[in-house]
Every structure is written in structure tokens, then in C-alpha cells.
Amino acid sequence: MKIVTDIQELRDQLRGQNRASFVPTMGNLHEGHLSLMRIARQHGDPVIASIFVNRLQFGPNEDFDKYPRTLEADAEKLEKEGVYVLFAPTESVLYPEPQEYRVDPPKQLGDILEGEFRPGFFKGVCTVVLKLFSCVQPKVAVFGKKDYQQLMIIRQMAQQFALPVDIVAGETIRAEDGLALSSRNGYLTKEERTEAPQLQIALQNLRQEIQGLLGKAESSSITAHQLLALEQKASEALKNRGWVPDYIAIRKRSNLLAPNTEDLLTKKELVILTAAKLGKTRLIDNLEV
């Protein structure tokens, strides 16, 4: 595996490749990331990975400085996965001058849920992903469903800019106790790590309640209000266990807006998304209904 830090060197290395499959990451790789490398291999050749902790997507009080950087161990894992090139640019390579041109996703998708609690986050994500696409020029790029809203926003960006890249989704890989793997899990204390799977359990309980409601004979009369009450109950349950939830929201998979009675009647596909703090660590997860 070649580790490349420079854009020109990357282009030289990839010249003539028109089926490359790309997995962008921020490093500190775990099985979730590696599962995406395997998916990438099924969709193209060679597989290119990138590691770049993107300052643009971190808020001023977020964890940019303490985000785990473990390049050497990451490179070993990628090598084992048969990755052809690891693109690991420094900030001065990717942002040699202030990145003034940015991609601003539409408010109705970019400013809700994660975007509401992390202003500017998706602008930073879209900008770096577009730039990485421009560097790597992949045929396929793989993103995890763990970051459900991000996946959706990038799909729409690729569509609206007619980018010649297929966006492929990877399922969320979890620890045995159900906790979604995340680089941020490393911030958890031992006690918090024991509690952390409760986030997914809260989603599963909520899903059961939704299915119970939808299964009832008079499901034609289910209101948005009832769903809100279920969201609130789930949120309260987490609070009682010491979590500080940012949101726990039942949404339509198609556009991440709240479903109305008509949507429920026509059995629109739903997803529950959540973000919550446990101590100092903010975790996100989701569950399709």
C-alpha cells in the first residue's frame, strides 16, 4: 500500500484508473471503517482510503484537537484490507489557503437534527468530500449508515452536482452489546462504556412502540402528536439514566422530515435518529423502522 500525502502524487499514482472505489475517513479506524473497505472492493478496483481530520466540520467547542490520530496503526489495518493507496494529506495540502468556496447543503436537510446541534457541520463535510472526490476522482464512494443524515446529504450533493461517482451505503457495525462502533467511543469511561449500549436499546424500544401504534386497527387516526409523545418518552427514559439527549426523532427515510398521518397511512419508510451526550461524549445512532 502506498501512503500519499500530496495531491499531485496521488494523481500520478491513480493515473489511468477509472474504476477506483473510495472510502473517506477521519482515521482511528475500527471494524466499521474496515467493513466499508470490503464493500468498496466489491464495487471497484483499486480501493483508495483517505484519512483527514477535517477542521471545517468541527465547531469551535468541539473535539478537533483531541480527536484521536493513529495513522501508523490505521495504515497497518488498511494494508491488511488490500487498500491500494492511503491518501493522508496534511491541512496545508488540502487547505493551502483558506477554503473560501464551500458547499452549502439545503437548509431543510442540512440544518436539522445533526445540523441543528452542530451548525456548519454538513457544510464542512460536503466541502471536504467534494474536494476529496476531486483529488481521488473515484467511480464509487462508500459511506456508513451510522452517519445517516451525512450519507443522505452526500448522495444528494453527488446528484445535484452530477458528480460521476456512485454513492454506496454500508450498514452500521456494532460491538457485541449493540453499541455502534465509533472513534468517539474511546472517550468513554469504563462506567459510561457499560451504559452506552442503552442508546441503541432506547431506539429499539421506541421502534417497538411505533410498530405497536401502527399495528393497531385504528392506525388511520395516528397523529404526529402521538409520535412526538413517543419521542419524548424515549428522551425522558434516557435522561433518567443520566444521558443528555440532543434529539431523538422519528423521521421519513426519504427526506428526514417528520411523517404526517398520510405518510403513516401510506406506510412511508421511517428511521429513528438520535444524538445524546453521556458525560462529555456525544454519541449518535439510528434505527430503520
- In the bound complex, what is the minimum distance in angstroms from residue 253's beta carbon to ligand AMP? 16
Q: Which is nearer to ligand AMP, 17 or 50 (CB)?
A: 50
Give the separation between CA 91 and CA 87, rounded to whole angstroms.
12
Give me the catalytic one of 30, 33, 43, 225.
Answer: 33
Q: Which is nearer to ligand AMP, 74 or 231 (CB)?
A: 74
Q: Which is nearer to ligand AMP, 17 or 172 (CB)?
A: 172
Distant-in-sequence, close-in-space partners of 240: CB < 8 Å, separation ≥ 6: none
Q: Is 156 exposed, middle or buried (0-12, 13-18, 19+ CB in 10 A)?
A: middle
How big is the site for ligand AMP, counted in residues (CB under 6 A)?
Answer: 17
Position 250 contacts ligand AMP (CB under 6 A): no
- In the bound complex, what is the minimum distance in angstroms from residue 261's beta carbon to ligand AMP? 32
Is 33 among the catalytic positions? yes
Q: Which is nearer to ligand AMP, 140 or 181 (CB)?
A: 181
Q: What grid cell was written down for 154?
A: 452526500
Residue 181, CB-side half-sphere exposure with 13 Å CA sphere: 18
Binding mask 66-85 for ligand AMP (x = CB under 6 A): --------------------
Neighbours of 190 (CB within 10 A): 6
66: phi > 0 → left, psi -120 to 50 → alpha, else beta; which?
A: alpha
Single out the residue of 26, 39, 85, 132 in contact with ligand AMP (rule: CB under 6 A).
Answer: 26
Q: Which is nearer to ligand AMP, 24 or 259 (CB)?
A: 24
**What part of residues 32-51 is at the interface with ligand AMP (CB under 6 A)?**
32-33, 35-36
Span interacting with ligand AMP, options 31-39, 68-76, 93-101, 269-277, rule CB under 6 A: 31-39
H-helix or E-strand spanning residue 281: strand 281-288
- What residue type is 216 in one-letter code? K
Instruction: Determine the 3-state secondary structure of 248 from DSSP.
Output: strand
**What part of residues 167-206 is at the interface with ligand AMP (CB under 6 A)?**
170, 172-173, 180-183
Instruction: Render 138-196 in DSSP notation, one character per residue.
Output: -SEEEEEGGGHHHHHHHHHHHHHTT-S-EEEEEPPPB-TTSPBP-GGGGG--HHHHHHT
Binding mask 136-155 for ligand AMP (x = CB under 6 A): -------xx-xx--------
Q: Which ranges of the chain would DSSP assign to H, the alpha helix? A: 7-14, 31-43, 71-80, 91-94, 107-110, 114-117, 121-136, 148-160, 190-195, 198-215, 224-240, 261-265
Q: Which is nearer to ligand AMP, 165 or 230 (CB)?
A: 165
Span interacting with ligand AMP, options 26-34, 114-122, 268-276, 278-286, rule CB under 6 A: 26-34
Residues that bind ligand AMP (CB under 6 A): 25-26, 32-33, 35-36, 143-144, 146-147, 170, 172-173, 180-183
| Residue numbers annotated as active site | 33
